[in-house]
Amino acid sequence: MSCSIKKDYNIKLQSKIDDYLTPDYVFIPYNSNVKLKVNNNDYIYKNMHILDYEDKKIFSSVSGKFVGTKKMMVENGKILNCLVIENDFKEKLQRRSGVKKDINAYSVDKVLEIINNYGIYEEKNNVSEILKKHIGEEVLIINTIESEPYIASELFLTSKYIYEILETLDAIMQIFHFKKCMFIIKNNANEIITKSIDYIGTFPNIDLKLVEDIYPIDNYAILKNYLKLKKGCVLKSSTIYEIYLALKRSLSATEKLITISGDGIKNPKVVNAKIGSSIKNIINDLIKIKDEDNLIFIANGLLSGNEIDINSLIVTPLLNGIIIKKKEKIMSTECIKCGQCYFNCPVKINPVLLLNNKKTDISKCLHCGLCSYICPAHINLNKYLEKSEKE
Ligand code: SF4
Ligand code: SF4
């Protein structure tokens, strides 16, 4: 079971994307075991491979000087060491590679090698491994959805780069022998539906598929279930855009679309920011706050996100949005045994058992936050799920 989330229609994103592409400094997180590929005071080129973080290759989003390290916060609330690069605003590349005309002519091995070289991941999954696993399958499913209310970074990215995404999809289908492609869009995303219809006609193997705006349909297992598909390779449209940059332009992604929204601000919007920028600076420069003293900040969405201190928060590839919300005093009461948490849970976990100190298997929990959100007694069931996971 998934469910549709009531939205506050006063919170409306402006249709234009704002840029935040000239931060004074960018912060690139790394873990303690990492071997840096650069030294203090080195000149750093934009797109230079500067370190490996959790097996991923990390590239610089600006050119400038490596001026030291600083502890900053990432989207899940962890404080990590970050390499600090002082931007010289020259966007200087080590080498210019031009634009590859015919990406359809690449072999499977070459595409996998390029994807690996550019460190393209979806969450913790290496995209070259995902493609290798699904080669020759019937369907490639492209997900443009974020089902969290008020977050629309994926949708705006798809709209901004629709042609580049479709062109790359066409090549991937041919190279990896997928028979058809489902391009998934929410049925209320009118602007992008119209735009996709305009372009998609040129790509006969790519079909537009509209789905309901229910939560958490962006989860791949839930999405496949909804589409009644047992098999199929699912990738985000933003991943396809990263593959486009790597295959066609020999570049890594240096920018990230972030939605900044919520009832605590006057101008909800999507911002195209340099990866590694300070969120505090973005908010100071671009966002009109309603009441500074009375706000909470939630990274990556109301239902599944974490309340976070934005003072040292940075833009990472895994940060999709910040909800800035008026603080509310909501008191929880006793469980009224309504069963809504169990009924609405997409993987049929019963969190009430945890409330009553009973054990239940939560290994399939998606951490979607729906049970807490739906609970009429305002019980923070997430807290019980986290506690049980730690035990
Ligand atoms: S138990 Fe887990 S999967 Fe089920 S609604 Fe709660 S957070 Fe989501
Ligand atoms: S939704 Fe809340 S009140 Fe209802 S059964 Fe679950 S925990 Fe109890």
Q: Give the model confidence (pLDDT) of 85-121 as tens digits.
A: 999 999 999 887 788 889 999 999 999 999 999 999 9
| Claim to verify: residue 186 and residue 207 sit in the same structural domain | yes
Q: Are 41 and 66 in contact (CB under 8 A)?
A: yes
Q: Are residues 232 and 289 in the same domain?
A: no
- Work out whether the CA dihedral 318, 322, 327, 330 comes out positive or negative: negative
3-state SS record for the chain: CCECCCCCCCCCCCCCCEEECCCCEEEEEECCCCCCCCCCCCEECECCEEEEECCEEEECCCCEEEEEEEEEECCCCCEEEEEEEEECCCCCECCCCCCCCCHHHCCHHHHHHHHHHCCCEECCEEHHHHHHHHCCCCEEEEECCCCCCCCCHHHHHHHHCHHHHHHHHHHHHHHCCCCEEEEEEECCCHHHHHHHHHHHCCCCCEEEEEECCCECCCCHHHHHHHCCCCCCEEEEHHHHHHHHHHHHHCCCCCEEEEEEECCCECCCEEEEEECCCEHHHHHHHHCCECCHHHEEEEECCCCCCEECCHHHEECCCCCCEEEEEECCCCCCCCCCCCCHHHHHCCCCCCCHHHHCCCCCCCCCCCCCCHHHHHCCCCCCHHHHHHHHHHC
Instruction: Inform me whether the pLDDT recorded for 23 exceeds 90.
Output: yes
Q: What pLDDT band is residue 37 in, cutting at 50, 70 and 90?
A: confident
Residues 259 and 245 grouped into a single domain: no
Within a domain: residue 8?
A: no
Cβ-based burial of 145 (10 A; exposed 0-12, middle 13-18, buried ≥19): buried
Read off the pLDDT of residues 364-375 as tens digits, 9 standing for 90 and up: 999 999 999 999
Pairing of strands 255-261, 269-274: antiparallel
Domain presence at residue 42? yes
Residues 151 and 241 in one domain: yes
Let me know: does 271 contact 153? Beta carbons within 8 Å. no
Average of per-residue pLDDT values in the chain: 93
Overall number of domains in the chain: 3
Q: Does 242 map to a domain?
A: yes
Q: Longest C-alpha distance within the chain, in Å? A: 64
Residue 263 placed within a domain:
yes
Beta bridge partners of 143: 184, 236
pLDDT over 90 (residue 388): no
**How far away, in angstroms, is 373 Cα from ligand 2 center?**
10
> CB neighbours of 174 closer than 8 A, spacing ≥ 6?
104
> Do 166 and 237 sit in the same domain of this protein?
yes
* Residue 69: pLDDT over 70: yes
Residue 2: per-residue pLDDT: 66
Q: What is the pTM of this model?
A: 0.94
161 plus 76 within the same structural domain: no
pLDDT tens by residue, 321-367: 999 999 888 889 999 999 999 999 999 999 999 988 888 899 999 99
Residue 288 placed within a domain: yes
Same domain, 214 and 134: yes
Ligand nearest to C-alpha 349: 1
The atom of ligand 2 lying closest to the CA of 338 is 4
pLDDT band at 292 (very low <50, low <70, confident <90, very high): confident
Which residues line ligand 1 at a C-beta cut-off of 6 Å? 345-347, 349, 351, 365-371, 385
256-291 confidence digits (pLDDT tens): 999 999 999 999 999 999 999 999 999 999 999 998
Q: Of ligand 2's atoms, which has the minimum distance to the CA of residue 352?
A: 7
Which amino acids bring their CB within 6 angstroms of ligand 2?
Answer: 335-341, 352, 375-377, 379
Domain membership of residue 335 (yes or no) is no
Inside any domain, residue 9: no
pLDDT at position 229 over 80: yes
CA distance 38 to 52: 11
Residue 369 alpha carbon, nearest atom of ligand 1: 7
Q: Which of 217, 249, 281 is the last residue of a domain?
A: 249
Higher pLDDT among residues 240 and 36, named by residue: 240
Asked if residue 333 belongs to a domain, the reply is: no
With pLDDT > 90 as the criterion, what percentage of the chain qualifies? 80
- Does residue 129 share a domain with residue 161? yes
**Residues 244, 259: one domain?**
no
Residues 91 and 107 in one domain: no
| Residue 157, domain extent | 103-249
Question: Domain end: 282, 301, 326, which one?
Answer: 326
Same domain membership, residue 117 and residue 91: no
Substitution candidate for ligand 1 out of 368, 383, 384, 388 with most atoms within 8 A of CB: 368
Least confident of 176-180, 188-192, 244-248: 188-192
Is 280 in the same domain as 309? Answer: yes
User: Which of 326, 349, 378 lies at the terminal end of a domain, its last residue?
Assistant: 326
Ligand 1 centre distance from Cα of residue 370 (Å): 6
